[in-house]
Structures are given as C-alpha cells and as structure tokens.
Copies of this chain bind each other. A is one copy, B any other.
Amino acid sequence: MQLNREDLHDAYRRMVLVREFENQIHRLNEKGELPGFIHLSAGQEASCVGICMNLQEDDYITSTHRGHGHVLAKGCDLVEMMDEVFAKRTGICHGKGGSMHMADLEKGILGANGIVGAGVPLAAGAALTSKTLGKDSISVVFFGDGAYNEGATLETMNLAKVLNLPLLFALEDNGWGEATPSSYAIGGDILKRAEGFGIPAQAVDGHDYCAVYEAAGDMISQIRAGGGPRFLHLDVYRYFGHFEGDAATYRPKGEVEKHQKERDCIMILRAYIIESGLLAESDLHKIHKEVLSEVEAAVDHARKAPSPEASDILTNVYATY
C-alpha cells in the first residue's frame, strides 16, 4: 500500500478533528453548556476516517448514537454540527435533531440514529437506490458490537446478500454495548456469523489507520465492482463512558489510561507518518493547531448563534399536509 502525502495529511487532520471535537464536547458538557444525551467516540477515529477516506461524495453512510466521528469523517460541516449540539437554529438539523441525529443527505449522510441497529436497513435502502439507478456509489453502515445482535442488523445481512447490494458492514467493536461486554453478548464467532450469511468477512486492527484504510479500500473496490456486501470487523476502543455521565465502572481500573498510552490510534498514525518521512512533526503540529482553532471558532459561532423560534416547532413535519 502506498499512502501519499496529501492523503495522510487529510486523514490525520480528520482524525484530529474528530478527537478535538469530542474533547471539546466533553468539556462543554461538563460545564453544563450542552443539552441532551451525548455519546462520544474519542479513541475510535481510525475506523471512521480510515473507511471514509475511501468514499466518494455520492457514497452513503448510516451511523449510530455515537456518530460524531462518522459524519465528520464523511464531510458534515463542523460549524453546523457544533451549532446543532448547542441546539441552535443554524444547526445542521436546525436544532431539531441534536447529537444523536446529525444528518446531511446531500453529502450521503443518512444520519446518526438513536435506535441501535436501525441504520443497517436504512443503509441497505441507500445501496438499493444506487443499484436500481445504476450508479457506482456504495453504502457503508457503521454499527457497534451491541448492534450486531439486533434483528434489524441480522435480517439485513441476509437481505443484502440475497439482493447483492453494494453495502459494507463496518462493525466497530469497542468491547461494550453500554455496560455489557461484547464477549458476553455475542454468541459464537464474529466473522463466522457474517460468513454464515454468505458475506465475505475480515477483521482488522481498528487502531491502525493504515490497516483500516487498506482493508476497507479492498472491500470497497470489490463492492463497487458488483461483488455484493462485505463485512469488516474493527477492533476499537472508546475513551469516555458510554454516554456523558457514565462513570464506566464496568471497566477495570487503569484500562483506559493503558490504552491511551499504548494503542491510541492518532499516536500510531503519527508515528507512522513521521517514520515514513512524508510529513514532519512540525506539519502535524500545525494541523493540530489549526484544528484546535477551528473547533474553538465553531464553539464561538455556536454560542452566538440564534435559538430556534417557537414557531419552528410546527414546521417540517410533512412535505405537504
């Protein structure tokens, strides 16, 4: 695999953007500035970015309750997203959706989703659109280890196989569905289950951006070529609790810190880039600084942005009534 300088620059920037967006949200939430339920994905960046770097603008994704990374990586606008978590009228959903429902259909983003597993058939639908209209676009469904046990997910693995849909199943296994370990909740073997539905499946280290990028790239080319659905199992780790406020005592003490020190996905990519010589430490530093000020600026924007008007409550229920 040969990653070029530009791609690496872009990938690194996106990963840092997701990370800093999440860190910022965490701080804002602790200060009590943000309403609603918030699920952060910090730690899992190599997965969403590694996959989305393979996608075209007209490809589709569906995401989860833990969706900031996916939608940022696919191209949601940072400022609009920040406005949305601040519940502002200028937000990407005009303040009606919030953290769990970020969407941008024009960029192929069918939305984060508060219902575990619900994004899976929706992504199959987007894939059916591509197939029916003869487009070469594909769909990616991001879902968690917990969602792997939902009927909607399992049914759709079969349906996607039967209809030979251009769909990548991206299972982000962070080891937990809320407080329940995936080792408890998933019966059998993860890859064999997917293969049992006739879907070629592969595991990849979700902390290693390059490995994700490559594995997803291979699968996506196969899918784009009409090969039907593929299944990618990504081993990832989330740093914060299940949602903001979760003390996460179900994890052994020190696990997070150990992980951050040894297996942080940004750290690993950073080391790779520097070793490859394609970008210098100072370039990465600069990216980081730029991202930080972008995020800061977004927060400023969001704080000042107007709230929805009371009358907005009645709009957009129907296209026509």
Chain A 121-164, CB within 8 Å of chain B: the 1/0 string? 00000000000000000000000000001111011011111100
With A189-B196, A198-B189 in contact, do A155 and B151 touch (Cβ < 8 Å)? yes
Residues of B close to A82: CB separation below 8 A: none
Nearest chain B CB to A81's CB is how many angstroms away?
A: 32
State in angstroms the CA–CA spacing of A132 and B200 once bound together: 39
Q: Does A188 contact B (CB under 8 A)?
A: yes
Q: Does A296 contact B (CB under 8 A)?
A: no
Q: List the one stretch of A30-38, A179-187, A246-254, A302-310 in contact with chain B.
A: A179-187
Q: Does A42 contact B (CB under 8 A)?
A: no
Which of B162, B184, B186, B196 touches A192 (beta carbons < 8 Å)? B196
Residues of B close to A160: CB separation below 8 A: 187
Those of A186-211 within 8 Å (CB) of chain B: 186-189, 192-199
State in angstroms the CA–CA spacing of A190 and B184 once bound together: 24
Question: Of A152, A159, A192, A199, which is in contact with the most chain B CB atoms at under 10 Å from its CB?
Answer: A192
Nearest chain B CB to A119's CB is how many angstroms away?
A: 15
In contact, A155 and B154 (Cβ under 8 angstroms)? yes
Residues of B close to A184: CB separation below 8 A: 162
In contact, A150 and B155 (Cβ under 8 angstroms)? yes
State in angstroms the CA–CA spacing of A219 and B192 once bound together: 22
Residues of B close to A150: CB separation below 8 A: 151, 155
State in angstroms the CA–CA spacing of A202 and B149 once bound together: 23
State in angstroms the CA–CA spacing of A184 and B161 once bound together: 10
Which B residue's beta carbon lies closest to that of A185?
A: B162
Which of B152, B162, B197 touches A193 (beta carbons < 8 Å)? B197
Which B residue's beta carbon lies closest to that of A188?
A: B198
State in angstroms the CA–CA spacing of A193 and B150 once bound together: 15
State in angstroms the CA–CA spacing of A151 and B198 once bound together: 17
State in angstroms the CA–CA spacing of A151 and B152 once bound together: 6
In contact, A187 and B157 (Cβ under 8 angstroms)? yes
State in angstroms the CA–CA spacing of A217 and B315 once bound together: 62
Which of B151, B188, B194, B197 touches A151 (beta carbons < 8 Å)? B151
Chain A residues engaging chain B, CB cutoff 8 angstroms = 149-152, 154-155, 157-162, 184-189, 192-199
Which 5 pairs of residues, A with B, have the shortest CB-CB distance? Answer: A151-B151, A161-B187, A188-B198, A196-B196, A193-B196
List 12 additional contacts besides A187-B197, A192-B192; criterion CB under 8 Å: A149-B158, A149-B159, A151-B151, A151-B152, A151-B155, A154-B154, A154-B155, A158-B186, A162-B187, A188-B198, A189-B198, A192-B196
